[in-house]
């Protein structure tokens, strides 16, 4: 078992099993447990990011619309009677 390929949590679990069960039994149990774990975590798409992307999609072919290297920060407006968003350029 290569310890370098394991995450910190997996290393801790393996060490705990080795201390409680012994090396041979722990290695077998850990390898069986590791096979049952999902290897690729499926990420849920961010609905807000999708809405922003869809609202900006009509600018995809517009050469005059540039976001720059660092992009922009979008926040809700704060304060009494404030509505809308505040957009600032990230420098």
pTM of the full structure: 0.46
Q: Which helix (H) or strand (E) holds 26?
A: helix 23-36
Q: pLDDT digits over 22-62, tens only?
A: 999 999 999 999 998 876 667 788 999 899 899 989 998 99
* pLDDT greater than 80 at residue 1: no
* pLDDT greater than 80 at residue 5: yes
Q: Strands, E, within 1-91: which ranges?
A: 72-76, 85-89
pLDDT at site 4: 87
pLDDT at site 40: 67
CA 89-90-91 angle, to 5 degrees, is 110
């Amino acid at each position: 078992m290569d310890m370098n390929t394991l995450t910190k949590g997996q290393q801790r679990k393996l060490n705990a099993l080795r201390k409680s069960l012994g090396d041979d039994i722990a290695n077998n149990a850990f390898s069986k447990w590791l096979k049952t774990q999902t290897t690729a975590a499926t990420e849920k798409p961010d609905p807000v990011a999708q809405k922003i992307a869809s609202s900006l999609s009509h600018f995809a072919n517009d050469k005059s619309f540039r976001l720059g290297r660092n992009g922009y920060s979008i926040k809700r407006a704060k304060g009494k009677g404030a509505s809308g968003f505040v957009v600032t350029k990230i420098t």
